[in-house]
Structure 1
Amino acid sequence: MPEHVVKAVSESAGKAFPRAPRGLMVLKAAIAEHLNARFGLRSEPDTELLVTHGAQHGMSIALRALLAPGDEVLIPAPTYFYDALVRMAGARPRYVQACADEGWALPFEGLEAAITPATRAIILCNPNNPTGYVPSKSELASVLSFAKRHGLYVFSDESYEDYVHDAHGYTPQMTLSGIHDRLVTVTSFSKNYAFSSWRVGYIHAPADLLVAIQRAFECDSINVGDIPQLAAHAALIGSRDWLDVEFGTFRDRRDILLEATRNAGFDAVTPGAGVFCYVDFAKTGLAGRELEEALLDVGVPASTGDRFAGRDSHYARIMYGGKEENIRRAAERFALLPRL
């Protein structure tokens, strides 16, 4: 942590704070200012923002608040681990497969075909984990128009906003609320501010939805810890120099991994965001746990596509967040894998 964050924590450690169930106003005001300055996105901090214990907690309580037993949720896949969160809300996930041949773009035809009378919501991962796909503004507009036609909530996990490397960049779904307003966005300080140890995130939603979401939140926790919130506030308003140095290297690290992967005879769609490549290892003849074990045997930890509700378990998510020499060495070890 940089000095300005450490100082904020040190100065607040001995203080007592009044309860603020939706989060400290100083933090919510800074979040609102950030959203406006960066994306031209106006939000009312007192009624449209709720501080949570990270994005996963935010998604869980939002689903429990707004879904009912028997509801179905459409989820483009491969995707992050939402399955248990949906089922804990009493709902059923219905996965709609994206395709590598289309760059892992959002599967619009599949979404239309998957609608049933029980469908109540869509979950998006924007940018996507594990594929690194970043939907364009026009794609998101199409999804929101689809959701409005069918009366669906759209829950969007937008935890990787600062990890976008290419093309059109990241578009918050809330900038398109003029199309459809039954939107809930969750995000996290863990990724964008290296805050994994503090567990701070927030929900952005219309005021009426946030009332219901707060009720679910209070079944889990009275409020997020005040000192972690003040640490997050310091990180948000302070210098980003310590972060920008790292973010500036991720595209180069991605390219190193992609080049070495292709040199080893495997391929991956170039991810537009994140710290992971979704590599096709079909040439090994291995899939699922066998592929994970084979990768680990050559020294590379990975998670295969079935972990992410993907149809093809011969894909594996490979991280490129480490040192350049280690990324290159890891990908070179792919050549040691068996081949058909």
Structure 2
Amino acid sequence: MIDWNKNLATTVQHTKQSGIRRFFDIASTMEDVISLGIGEPDFVTPWTIRESCIYGLERGYTAYTSNKGLYELRHAITHMYERDFQVKYNPNDEVLITVGVSEAVDLAMRAILNPNDEILIPEPCYVSYAACATLVGAKAIAVPTKSENEFKVTPEDLEKHITPKTKALLIGYPNNPTGTILEYDELLAIANFAQKHNLIVISDEIYGDLTYGERKHICFSALPDMKERSIILNGFSKAYAMTGWRLGYALAPKPVIDAMNKIHQYTMICAPITAQIAGLEAIRNGQKHMKKMVAEYDRRRRLIYEGFTSMGLKCFEPKGAFYIFPDISSTGLSSEEFAEQLLLRQHVAVVPGTAFGECGKGFIRASYATSVDNISGALARIKNFLDNL
């Protein structure tokens, strides 16, 4: 009999399971659970986007597309970036349509990193970043950030972790899990750091459309001299409520897109044509629907922020994405203990901050991508939990 423990790939064995899943596995066995854990819009994909897909199926659009994706979609994306950020990309060879941004992260890592290369990853951050680096044999170097600075990464933070092996930097703002954004001057400081050390910058901007108030997202490659060293990752899941469609894209210089496409053509071939048709409709006619959803997220954001602060849990006001990152250290419980006891006692699911890096100790992540009724109900249960500790 084969011993699979000895025959699985070493990199896979050394890759940790997602710190998010355990709590949802428990929650799935319980009734009356209010989940503030899932990073998924509670909206259904707008009808015009769904209708475009249905119409495409009726017309028989069921075949492969180009490995790089439908030209019309690539052209629409580049036009959008020129219009919104004044940065120009060639739709022929500087855009790749991917199966979600998750694939784009993986492809970017595999395209640029060799075994033993190092990539700087500010934490807290999305759970797959370090894992993708590990799976290519590279070394993910965690760069802790501080709650008193709203978990914003600074050049000073990065300088402490730079080595001769450092090849790249991965940033994700607006940030999952904290809701932090970086202002122009803060991003410019990161850009100058990247130039100083000749680093490639992977910028995950999937939450770029989800910013609040007068703040507007700043595309990293639109900064001075950054297009030539940047890989921009984005997609349709969050802004257009299209998580299940699995549609993302990468924007980068031609040699990078060629390398990413080389892997993509052997592993995925292409993103589903139906999803690409839907994505094209989203860009062309989905803005009004997206703005309505963003306005609703903003209402929920203010509700959950006021709720947590009123019950004595410290947290800064999130300015992007749809997450809040309250400090629960005053309870005397660890992040994992707080999340588990809250789930078992009050049937509210949140994610321990440590799922997103060691500097998430003493924090939890709560998503407000759910209804106002759910948020209000969850806040009442959390208050009851705290009152009875």
- Provide the TM-score with structure 2 as the length reference: 0.83
Match of 2:369 among 290, 297, 321: 321
Greater mean deviation of Cα atoms: 14-23 or 89-98: 14-23
| One-letter amino acid of the structure 2 residue matched with residue 274 of structure 1 | A
Q: Does 1:330 align with 2:378?
A: yes
Q: Is the 8 A contact 1:167 1:272 kept in 2?
A: no
Whole-angstrom CA distance in 1 between matches of 2:132 and 2:233: 13
Q: Is the 8 A contact 1:124 1:154 kept in 2?
A: yes
Whole-angstrom CA distance in 2 between matches of 1:219 and 1:177: 35
Number of the residue aligned with 1:44: 90
| One-letter amino acid of the structure 2 residue matched with residue 55 of structure 1 | V
Correspondence 1:173-212 to 2 at 5 A: 173-176=220-223, 178-179=225-226, 181-212=228-259
Whole-angstrom CA distance in 2 between matches of 1:75 and 1:127: 15
Match of 1:128 among 175, 185, 208: 175
Match of 1:289 among 320, 336, 351: 336
Q: Is the 8 A contact 1:144 1:179 kept in 2?
A: yes
Percent identical pairs in the alignment equals: 29
Number of the residue aligned with 1:301: 349
Q: Does 1:90 align with 2:134?
A: no
Q: 1:170 to 1:19 in 2, by over 3 A?
A: closer
TM superposition outliers: structure 1 runs of 4+ over 6 Å = none
Q: 1:335 to 1:205 in 2, by over 3 A?
A: same
SS of alignment partner, residue 105 of structure 1:
coil
CA-atom RMSD in angstroms: 1.7
Alpha-carbon deviation of 1:286?
0.9
Number of the residue aligned with 2:56: 12
| One-letter amino acid of the structure 2 residue matched with residue 38 of structure 1 | D
Q: Is the 8 A contact 2:46 2:289 kept in 1?
A: yes
Whole-angstrom CA distance in 1 between matches of 2:202 and 2:280: 25
Match of 1:245 among 292, 310, 316: 292
Greater mean deviation of Cα atoms: 187-196 or 4-13: 4-13
Number of the residue aligned with 2:99: 53
Greater mean deviation of Cα atoms: 212-221 or 25-34: 212-221
The superposition leaves residues 238-275 of structure 1 with CA deviations (integer Å, 9 ceiling, x where unpaired) of: 14333322211212211111111122111111111111
Q: Is the 8 A contact 2:81 2:88 kept in 1?
A: yes
Whole-angstrom CA distance in 1 between matches of 2:320 and 2:191: 22
Q: Does 1:154 align with 2:198?
A: no
Q: 1:245 to 1:53 in 2, by over 3 A?
A: same
Q: Is the 8 A contact 2:62 2:274 kept in 1?
A: no
Q: 1:277 to 1:19 in 2, by over 3 A?
A: closer
Number of the residue aligned with 2:110: 64
Q: What stretches of structure 1 of length at least 5 have no aligned partner?
A: none
Aligned residues between the structures = 340
SS of alignment partner, residue 234 of structure 2:
strand
| One-letter amino acid of the structure 2 residue matched with residue 306 of structure 1 | T
Q: Is the 8 A contact 1:148 1:180 kept in 2?
A: no
Alpha-carbon deviation of 1:338?
4.9
The superposition leaves residues 36-65 of structure 1 with CA deviations (integer Å, 9 ceiling, x where unpaired) of: 222222211111100000111101011011
- Provide the TM-score with structure 1 as the length reference: 0.95
Alpha-carbon deviation of 1:94?
0.8
RCO comparison, higher one (Cα < 8 Å, 6+):
2
